[in-house]
Amino acid sequence: MSDTSIPNHIAETLVSPAAYAGDEIYDAYRWLRANNPLGVAEPEGYEPFWVVTKHADILEISRNNALFPSAVRATTLTSKAGDARARAVTGTPHLVRSLVQMDEPDHMKYRALTQAWFMPQSVKKREADIRALAQEAVANFIRLPGRCDFVKDAALHYPLKVVMNILGVPPEDFPRMLRLTQELFGASDPETKRFQDALSDEQFAQILIAVVNDFSDYFGKISADRRANPRDDLATLIANAEIDGQPMPPFEATGYYTIIATAGHDTTSSSTAGAMWALATVPGLLERVRAEPALIPNLIEEAIRWTTPVKTFMRSASADTELRGRKIKEGDWLMLCYASGNRDEEVFPNADAFDIDRTPNRQLAFGMGAHLCLGQHLARMEMRILYEELLPRLKSVRLDGDPRMSESFFVNGLKSLPIKFELA
């Protein structure tokens, strides 16, 4: 074993969806940061990949997209069988081609199409509409009988409605979008995968392909409608967009719709639920934030760091290079472990604790560099408004059972948060 090699049990933990449903992944990250912060994992069934666990290294790679591009190899951890299946279906390592899978010059051409919609000044114009949805969510919450599953009864639906309204999906299709999102991001979770039995890599890849095809069929119809009947929504913009003077190709259009329709709400739901988890378990936190509403943005930022819904993304090296004294070769694959970077002891003292007094809070959950999350301002505003509306109505909250996390090494978060609460 070379000095770069990660022990097999740690490597297997990194690719085990179940490890992300508890503390096992954080124990592995802690060991890696202390003992092998930039090492090579070789789990069975996967090509070898570098595992990047330190905040500074994740930042350096994220800020250098030319040296560490996204388009060359799969951007999400994929088994050898899954990679082969994707290439057979699309001719590329990607089942979808969204902003996440693009490098320059395409990345900025596509990003520029919708970037203005997600800038702070544009998001601010939608504050009244979003607050109305938050008030509706709180009205539904306070009708509950003093106990609920905060994920299923609140956190899932509010961000979904915000994003679907901006995108232009009709309300009757919201449940379909939620189901497809859970199947795409939680395909490895026993409760969301389409088949309950043990899946081979080939079957797993076929499930993801089926989900992507469902998205493609649905948004193909939306595109046709918006070309015939344009509206003031993102679907109209995407349906009628041109790249280099030509209509956006269908493969890229599906990717654009899919990334907005999924990442736009699923990650926000996870952080929203994480904030409630903290309010239910950190002594004095609810009372303090209720007394000082100006602390709500701190609550939100720490919830984003603490939950880090996007656990990993993959990059590759476009040339031989060196990082942390280790020689990375052209074509090497790298796993950016954002949840590890967000608990790096060198940046976040007492990193496992939820602490709304972290300043500055240099969390990496939205990424950095060219691929900095397009929807970060919208996500923060959604969460802030919800808690501005909810906290004055909430006298107390505590857990009413064990929280449960989804099983996924890509995007994961709370899938159940049973709470008991009293209204003010």
Q: What pLDDT shows up at residue 205?
A: 66
pTM, two decimal places: 0.92
Report all structural domains of the chain as residue ranges with CATH numbers, in order of start: 8-407 (1.10.630.10)
Q: What pLDDT shows up at residue 362?
A: 97
Q: What pLDDT shows up at residue 219?
A: 86
Decide: 71 and 101 in contact? Cβ < 8 Å. yes
Map the chain to HEC letters: CCCCECCHHHHHHHCCHHHHHCCHHHHHHHHHHHHCCEEEECCCCCCCEEEECCHHHHHHHHCCCCCCCCCCCCCCCCCHHHHHHHHHHHCCCCCCCCHHHCCCCHHHHHHHHHHHHHCHHHHHHCHHHHHHHHHHHHHHHHCCCCEEEHHHHHHCHHHHHHHHHHHCCCHHHHHHHHHHHHHHHCCCCCCCCCCCCCCCHHHHHHHHHHHHHHHHHHHHHHHHHHHHCCCCCHHHHHHCCEECCEECCHHHHHHHHHHHHHHHHHHHHHHHHHHHHHHHHCCCHHHHHHHCHHHHHHHHHHHHHHHCCECEEEEECCCCEEECCEEECCCCEEEEEHHHHCCCCCCCCCCCCCCCCCCCCCCCCCCCHHHCCCCHHHHHHHHHHHHHHHHHHEEEEEECCCCEECCCCCECCEEECEEEEEEC
Q: What pLDDT shows up at residue 185?
A: 64
| Average pLDDT, 10 consecutive residues per value, the chain (424 residues) | 88 96 97 98 97 98 97 94 85 88 94 92 95 97 96 93 91 85 65 49 70 84 93 92 93 86 84 98 98 98 97 97 97 98 97 96 95 94 98 98 94 95 96
Q: What pLDDT shows up at residue 196?
A: 41
